[in-house]
Amino acid sequence: MTSTASPIRLIVPRRHGDDRGWFTEVYSEPTFAAEGIGCRFVQDNHSLSAPIFTLRGLHFQTPPRGQDKLVRCIRGRIFDVAVDVRKGSPTWGNWVGAELSAQNGHQLFIPIGFAHGFVTLEPDCEVTYKCSDTYVPDHDGGIRWDDPAIGIDWPIPAGFVPELSPKDAVQPLLANFDSPFAYDGRPLLPID
């Protein structure tokens, strides 16, 4: 039986505040499993992007070393994006995005089969994300961040070229990508 829930999930952890500040639980395996997210995380990553409009992505790791990711911004603000790259998906090439910030505390869960990327909306942004598998260079892949067939509406000023890594500047177009990811029956739906 397949779930009708969207594979991409916006997670809004509850913050418990008082005069000292606040406390939040950002991850609990039993709580996430009860919400239908049953992967196990084995690696945590942390990045600093100094210039505003630094763009990282669109990245994925191919099977059998695919990675589910749980992404959050712990300093500054980012626009975080996931693109459906599952072969046979009715939402192939569609994308969803959400603003994640240190202030709002939101997280984005991105399962295997989706390319992931983000652009910073402030200088000195720090992003952390959990992965369900370790990094394996031979399984590292990506898609062009500005692929017109995908049409991501990045919140970047018109005519401005974001800060990119050399690798991200030359990623292939989606049309040239032979996806090894299988469609699981769950179409990409808008996130709340």
| Cα–Cα distance measured from residue 105 to residue 72, given in angstroms and rounded to the nearest whole number | 7
Q: Omega before 30 cis (within 30°)?
A: no
Q: Is the dihedral of CA 160, 165, 167, 171 positive or negative?
A: negative
| Catalytic-residue membership of 59 | yes
129 carries an active-site annotation: yes
Cα 187 to Cα 94: distance, rounded to the nearest angstrom: 10
* Cα–Cα distance measured from residue 118 to residue 54, given in angstroms and rounded to the nearest whole number: 8
Report the alpha-carbon distance of residue 87 to residue 75 in Å, rounded: 35
Of the candidates 121, 117, 120, the one whose C-alpha atom is nearest the C-alpha of residue 144 is 117
Question: Please, are residues 42 and 131 in contact by the beta-carbon 8 Å criterion?
Answer: yes
Tokens linked to 181: 């990811």
- From the list 129, 135, 139, 183, the catalytic residue is 129
Please identify which of the residues 27, 46, 59, 139 carries the catalytic annotation: 59
Residues taking part in catalysis: 59, 129
